A and B are shown apart, each in its own frame.
Chain A
Amino acid sequence: MEDNKKLLAIRLLTWFCPSKLLESIEGDLIEAYEDDLRRVGEATAKRRLLFNVIKFLRPGILLRHHFSFQLMQYAMLKSYWIIAIRNINKSKVFSTINILGLGIAIAAVLLIVQFVMFELSYDKFHTNFDRTYRITNDRFQNGQLIQHGTITYPTIGPTMAKDFPEIEMYTRLMPSGELNVKIGENIFQGEEAMFADEHFMSVFSFPMLAGDRVKALKEKYSLLITRKTAMRYFNVKDENFDAVVGKTVYWGLDTQPYTVTGVCDDIPENSHLQFNALVSYASLISPDDHGADDSWTWSDMRHYLVLAPGTDPKTLEAKFDDFSERYFKGDKVSGSIEKFYLQPLKEAHLYSNYEYDIAKTANGKAVWAMLIVAVFILIIAGINYINLTTSRALERAKEVGLRKVMGAVKSQLVRQFIFESVLVSLLAFIVAIILTQIVQHPFNQIIGGNLSWWVVLSQIEMKVKLLMLGTAAAAIIVSGFYPAFVLSSHQPITVLKGKFRHTTKGNVLQKGLVIFQFMSAAVLITGTIMVSQQIKFMNNSDLGININNTIIVESPERTSWDSTFIQRVESFKNELQTIDNVKSAATSNNIPGARLGRTFNVHLSDASSGPKYTMSFLGIDHSFVQTFDLKVVAGRGFETTDHHADFDQLQNAMVNVGATRLLGMKSPDEIIGRHVNFWGKNWTVVGVIPDYHQQGLKNAMEPMIFFPAYSTYYPTSIKIGSGDSKATLAQIEATFKKFFPDNVFQYSYLEDRYKSQYKDDNRFGQIVSIFTILAIIISCLGLIGLSSYTAIQRTKEIGIRKVLGASVMNVVSLLSIDFMKLILIATILSLPISYFVLERWLDGYAYKIRMEWLLFLLPVVLIVVIAALTMSFQIIKTALTKPADTLKYE
């Protein structure tokens, strides 16, 4: 019976039955079916047949696949292998483009995924990860948000723990800056430390190497150090960290020794908290100064809570408004309205935009965007691969036709082409792994981490690993399938006759792809230009303050504070100025580029019932204004007589223009001689300086107040000339050592430190340019594939056109005009997207470049030129082909 083959049941059988057994089983089934057909009619016969076939789905049949399968595949695999290698060898340029293109894309994806995985792995190693929350604190004054921070008052933790039973544990911490300790005769400086209370190690599960997790931070003057710090301080041998416990160190000038009570392992890179040592929080609290424990106005503490299992953080958060009202009574207590929120630990690294944050943060949106980009790269590379491979369909059409004539069935051809895809993908994968290894180091430098696949693989869960493996396998197979089916579907008769059919559907897909690729490339190019322009703008803008040629010498912390200290600093500064190349020197409690502290209760003394304002404050000496080339716009600068060793005796202050405006002055002069109240006392304003960029151009200039102070914790800013900086530095060091023996001399260049504020922007810029280059490469590969496809398709048409008198130029324009149209569409589409995206991006900067039309035009020109160059090779080659060569077979 002719239609036996079309019976569903038989088709089902061929699908699972071992081919060796197939024929006889099929025969028996058909025989039985034909019998049934005569005896019981078609419907029953069919049903019985299907039933019979299903009964063959049994181990006794299925397991017989094994042997025959291998034998058959082995011979075929060998043949596939030979054909694949021949094909790769046959067109080396094409194969190289294909493999490299795919390899580059996979490498990019690998790097991105690695980066994203790492960024998402932050803090997950803590046992209480899911239940840990950070308290954040927003403050409002005169209806306006004045601070959005992670810092809050030391009373918040204990009070909340008392009021809300949902809180299982809380911990308080406060950064203490760099440790500066003396052990025996050695001085060590540079370990970042924090004050942390006894619960810290219970809330967080950093592994302990020695000491007791619960008790280590309980007592006053206890010190918990990391492995690295222990090694540095005590030169621990053979991992014997227990030997360190009980040792004492002297911190700064404190005569009280600090005892090492514990050692923990080094803090992993994927922890949002980074420190080298912890000092017990109790050390902050002394009988005459217990503000660190019970102040409702001192807000330098960071709080973390562990909620009881099953607690809904939103429900708890909703109770914080009452809490705030209960203890802060509006703005009566702290000068501002306090709002408290819970931030889950899992968001601390990626979703924090807080002021005074100690967390190591990154932009979560950017991280997800990277992942999306990775997926896009993979898709584009896959489609590119499909395009490039199908563009060779014509070359291989004859091969396919001939194979079919010789008896190859479609499934064999499909398998052959898929085999080739898999082989190419594997080669690309090898290329990708090699590339990843090569660029890992530079990549790490850009992202500022220390990543490697080994680290990432060891940290991610099995589930994710399987997912990644599955995605890779699926990508390879899917990108292999389409060309495999296109290539294997050629009908031998038409192919061998020399006629090809082409679907317009494929063309739409390809055109869409070209538009999409070049649109992305154009957006990225615009982005690169814009980002680099913005960075250039920030680096070159007039800051209102001269930070060039300025050396910062860290403070002489190990010097005791007494009434003679001011004189000592003045003598130090005077002696510095005797150095030829030194122009001026000043001390201040912070340097330009650093975020300043804020005070919340500023008001004019004669308007104490009026609104309160928030201002940043900076302690400076009388040479500060001159050293940084600031101009006094009203009144006078500080003089030596304004200074006093006793802080309570200080009376005079200066402000910047922004502060006078905030206080309601029409011109800066008005404020001279007026009294301003902050920190609970009245200050006379003696001078006004213009606003300058204390922080980089990302931040708006804030109203500032300056007070005339000295401290052993103030760094010195030294303005030098253009002379030999090495010799100057040596002289500065000698002078520093002379005045402040027993202190570590550490220096840096202010300009570098100031510019380090733009580190993230630079990083972003670099990443964007890498993607831009990638996008261009990938788009061009796609274009090469497509243009050669069209060119080959139109070989005969071109031959005929040339015979009829078309010039090379005519042909080139004929072939390129279609693509140029696509690319123009792409660039036009890119304009609104670029504008929209970049406008959002620029919003993050208080001071920014203007978006000029030239910035948008440049990428368009660039794209058109690159595309034209890419296509020109193939097109000119086609245009130059002699018609005799292409038409001789007609």
Chain B
Amino acid sequence: MSKEYLGEFEELVLTIVGILNDDAYGNAIVNEIKERMDRDCNLSAVHVTLYRLEDKGLIKSKMGGATNARGGRRKRIFTITNAGMAMLKTMKDSRMELWKLIPQLKFIGM
């Protein structure tokens, strides 16, 4: 895992895919990020990131069923893989390790 490095946005998208579970597709992710993080991101950036994550084996995709919305186009549904889950966990753990190393003094003054 140490060889793989995830960018900040990649990590964010990966986390959102994990959150949305079976309903993660391009637009949903954009909306979710907007909603939860109050952050505008471009659809194309999300798509590119999703494909990159898929290449790394952190998520997988399948085409969803046909609907009448979206001009009849199917969604590409992304789900997080075990590797993706492990990646998120490792990253969270290492952050926590680092977090613990920050001198806690500052909090005293608060």
Contact = CB atoms under 8 A, between A and B. Distances in A.
A324 interface: no
Contacts of A5: 71
B74 A52 contact: no
B44 A52 contact: yes
A262 B48 CA distance: 72
Contacts of A64: 51
Interface in B50-102: 51-52, 63, 69-71, 73-76
A58 B76 contact: no
A27 B27 CA distance: 9
A32 B42 contact: no
Interface string A25-63: 111111110100000000000000000100110101100
Contact of B42 (A4, A24, A55, A61): A55
Interface in A345-379: none
Nearest to A28: B26
Contacts of B71: 1, 4-5, 26-27, 30
Nearest to A4: B71
A60 B51 contact: yes
A857 interface: no
B32 to A, nearest CB: 13
Contacts of B52: 60
B70 to A, nearest CB: 4
A21 interface: yes
A30 B47 contact: no
B43 interface: yes
A52 B47 CA distance: 12
A23 interface: yes
Contacts of B44: 52, 55-56, 58, 60-61
B74 A27 contact: yes
Contacts, number: 68
A23 B63 contact: yes
Interface residues of A, number: 22
A411 to B, nearest CB: 20
B73 A24 contact: yes
A56 B42 CA distance: 10
Contact of A24 (B26, B30, B69): B26
Given A28-B25, A28-B26, A56-B44, A23 B73 contact: yes
Contacts of A26: 71, 73
A23 B73 CA distance: 6
B105 to A, nearest CB: 44
Given A23-B73, A23-B74, A28 B43 contact: yes
A25 B52 CA distance: 15
A24 B63 contact: yes
A61 B43 CA distance: 12
Contacts of B26: 24-25, 28
Interface string B1-36: 000000000000000000000000111001000000
A24 B48 contact: no
Contacts of B70: 27-28, 30-31, 34
Contacts of A27: 70-71, 73-76
Contacts of A29: 43
Given A24-B25, A27-B75, A61 B48 contact: yes
A32 B30 CA distance: 10
A27 B73 CA distance: 5
Nearest to A59: B48
Contacts of A32: 27, 30, 43
Contacts of A23: 63, 73-74, 76
Contact of A56 (B30, B47, B76): B47
B48 A31 contact: no
Given A27-B73, A27-B75, A58-B48, A52 B25 contact: no
A34 B47 contact: no
Most buried by A among B25, B43, B51, B75: B43
A116 B75 CA distance: 61
A31 B27 contact: yes
Given A55-B44, A58-B44, A58-B48, A31 B76 contact: no
Nearest to A52: B43
Contacts of A30: 70-71, 73
A23 B70 CA distance: 10
Contacts of A28: 25-27, 43, 47, 70, 75
A535 to B, nearest CB: 74
A758 B48 CA distance: 75
Given A5-B71, A30-B71, A52-B42, A25 B27 contact: no
A425 B75 CA distance: 44
B23 to A, nearest CB: 13
A4 B72 CA distance: 10
A283 to B, nearest CB: 82
Contacts of A60: 44, 47-48, 51-52
A29 to B, nearest CB: 7
Contacts of B42: 52, 55
B89 to A, nearest CB: 27
A581 B101 CA distance: 125
B65 to A, nearest CB: 12
A61 B73 contact: no
Interface in A60-79: 60-61, 64
Most buried by B among A28, A29, A55, A56: A28
A848 B45 CA distance: 81
A28 B44 CA distance: 10
Contact of B69 (A34, A55, A58): A34
A879 to B, nearest CB: 55
Given A23-B63, A24-B25, A31 B51 contact: no
Most buried by B among A21, A29, A34: A29
A564 to B, nearest CB: 105
A8 to B, nearest CB: 15
A30 B72 CA distance: 10
A25 B30 CA distance: 13
Given A32-B27, A60-B51, A64-B51, A24 B74 contact: yes
Contacts of A1: 71
A384 B28 CA distance: 57
Contacts of B45: 55
A115 B27 CA distance: 64
Nearest to A56: B44
B109 to A, nearest CB: 45
A21 B25 contact: no
Contacts of B51: 21, 60-61, 64
A1 B72 CA distance: 8
A1 B73 CA distance: 11
B107 to A, nearest CB: 41
A55 B48 CA distance: 11
Nearest to A61: B48
A61 B48 CA distance: 6
15 contacts: A21-B76, A24-B25, A24-B76, A26-B73, A27-B73, A28-B27, A28-B75, A32-B27, A32-B30, A52-B43, A52-B44, A55-B45, A61-B44, A61-B51, A64-B51
Closest 4 CB pairs of A and B: A27-B73, A24-B76, A60-B48, A28-B26
Given A24-B25, A27-B74, A28-B70, 17 more contacts: A23-B63, A23-B73, A23-B76, A24-B75, A24-B76, A28-B25, A28-B43, A29-B43, A30-B71, A32-B27, A32-B30, A52-B44, A55-B45, A56-B43, A60-B48, A60-B51, A60-B52
